[in-house]
Structure 1
């Protein structure tokens, strides 16, 4: 079995690929299969959340690119920004991982397909569509619990920080 323990940030070419669902990409310990059919074991630092396009260094020296698997999702759209914000609030209040985006038709939210949440969102006046797409939700408290960078013991606890800001450059 191929052992994968490190993220890779170098410039070498990708030699293998690994397609995972979002749930699988949140696990730091995972027995899986590369797209080539080769068995692999992920042993990454606790709190690691893999994103499509991340690259990993395998024990045999190969560079493995992570691909986000298409998943059954709900896409949420609203007639106005206030209603979309309200929907995002209610999903966040339930700690639902949400991908935020937009296109020429306006803003949208995407979440894992769930009939209970779909009913709630329809009740809020949202328009829903079902789709199969890679799921890349906002970074947040998916590992290590809710925390902020200024917590006294923030460096002692594993896991991602809850706030990740875009650079203004």
Structure 2
């Protein structure tokens, strides 16, 4: 018997799901992989390009079934503080995926970012919850790490300040070209 395959992604509300697959934020960025549903059925994901999936998206299988993507619980940091815009700016400046809520920010656990935020006056609490961060500004679904094909491109951010000196922030990203 041939394993059902998903070549197509549907958005939430486009079809009725017959089963669910629970994936972490990192697992929701894929092109080709065998997944197992909560009911124990296996299927192959074989997409044309690496794709960022959102909570609620659906895999359309070759046998006609639809499998809904559910955001898995993950180990996160809940960030609160008196100057939330400033904290959000520092998180974004480090290209850290961030779930923005009315009274807190959620990010993946990272001891370096945790120390930086604490130093800035934030209250940082470890939590375990589903993680559905904001997508990229240009609709890619990810703030970075867009890789299409097998080409990895890196760049650095060279910032020049009004006082005439510049610095390289030293981080590099894979980019699609």
**Shorter-chain TM-score: which interval?**
0.7 to 0.9
Q: Secondary structure at the match of 2:113?
A: helix
User: Which aligned segments of 4 or more residues in structure 1 are displaced greater than 4 angstroms?
Assistant: 9-12
Cα offset for 1:130? 1.4
2:135 is aligned with 1:139: yes
Distance in 2 between residues matched to 1:129 and 1:12, nearest whole Å:
37
With 68-77 and 5-14 compared, the bigger mean Cα shift is at 5-14
Distance in 2 between residues matched to 1:119 and 1:109, nearest whole Å:
15
Q: CA RMSD in A?
A: 2.3
- 2:18 aligned residue (15, 22, 31): 15
2:126 is aligned with 1:130: yes
Larger radius of gyration: 2
Give the count of matched residue pairs. 142
The change in CA–CA distance for 1:56 and 1:158 in structure 2 (over 3 A counts) is farther
Q: TM-score, normalised by structure 1?
A: 0.74
1:105-131 CA distances to partner (integer Å, 9 max, x unpaired)? Answer: xx2110011111111110010011111
Cα offset for 1:64? 0.7
Q: TM-score, normalised by structure 2?
A: 0.71
Distance in 2 between residues matched to 1:28 and 1:124, nearest whole Å:
38
Match of 2:46 in 1: 43
Distance in 1 between residues matched to 2:48 and 2:91, nearest whole Å:
28
Q: Where do 5+ consecutive residues of structure 1 fail to align?
A: 146-156, 160-169
Q: Where do 5+ consecutive residues of structure 2 fail to align?
A: 137-142, 148-152, 154-174
Q: Name whichever structure is richer in helix by fraction.
A: 1
Distance in 1 between residues matched to 2:14 and 2:25, nearest whole Å:
25
